[in-house]
Amino acid sequence: MIGTVVTIFLTATVEWVEAFTILLAVALSIGWPRALAAGLAALATLAVLTSIGSIALGHIGNLRLLQFLVGFFLILFGMRWLGKAIARGGGLKKLHDETAEFESLMGRAEIHETRAAFMIAFNGVLLEGLEVWLIVVALGVQTQHTLAAGAAALVSLLVVLGAGFAIHRPLATVPENTIKFTVGCGILAFGTFWTLQALGYHWPLGDTALLALFGCNIAAGLGVMQLYKLQII
């Protein structure tokens, strides 16, 4: 359960940091009350989606099918995050820069128009939050700790909002790529572990295999990033 909660907290932190940048840009343009209303509307939509997703997955009677579906979605998610983190860490892509993102948003003409800015904030928070939703539902349902999963995402939101309001700037110093790399390795480990278990595979080390998979992903990922940095591959 601790692994699940930490994974969700870290995933949510990366997403909420990006959502806060959007919210801040919109707030400086149309004011905090409207920006917060857009953010709250998006969060309410996510809460409804989380309930629907949890209930729908909870109604799948076949536990192996449920485990397979969750594992498959986690593999898809983990590969994307790990791929992005390796590309950025290895110098193939520029690191995600919240300050640049903020300036780019402030440069958009439509952000100064109330309705368009409201939609930018709503869509931004919703899209960033969808990845949090996916992880909360998948890990929550599979580990039967949906409430703890939701709480981890909520605590992360409060931490990011608190830090954001305190410094009143984009949270550019959060080590997003390191978090993305670690979470990508963890999610990929969960995904492969559960997918194979659902297919009838018996892991030789039991649940300890999860830690071994996570460790192998970290070590191999760091190695590949180093090879990219040295331009060996």
Partner 1 sequence: MQGFIKTLFGDRRTFLIAAINIVIVFALMKTPAASLAGIILPLGVFCGAIYLAKH
Site of interaction with partner 1 (CB under 8 A): 72-73, 75-80, 82-84, 86-87, 90, 92, 123, 126-127, 130-131, 133-134, 184, 188-189, 191-192, 195-196, 199-201, 203-204, 209, 213, 216-217, 220-221, 224, 228
Quick one: 98 or 128, whose CB is closer to partner 1?
Answer: 128
Task: Give least dist CB 137 to partner 1, A.
Answer: 10
Determine the Cα–Cα distance for residues 168 and 174; give it in Å rounded to an integer. Answer: 14
**122: closest CA among 217, 229, 44, 190?**
44
Assign 171 to helix, strand or coil.
Answer: coil
Assign 45 to helix, strand or coil.
Answer: helix
Quick one: 24 or 188, whose CB is closer to partner 1?
Answer: 188
Determine the Cα–Cα distance for residues 181 and 82; give it in Å rounded to an integer. Answer: 5
Task: Give least dist CB 113 to partner 1, A.
Answer: 22
DSSP 8-class letter at 109: G
Task: Give least dist CB 85 to partner 1, A.
Answer: 8
Task: Give least dist CB 231 to partner 1, A.
Answer: 13
Quick one: 87 or 163, whose CB is closer to partner 1?
Answer: 87
In degrees and rounded to multiples of 5, residue 29 shows phi and psi of: -95, -45
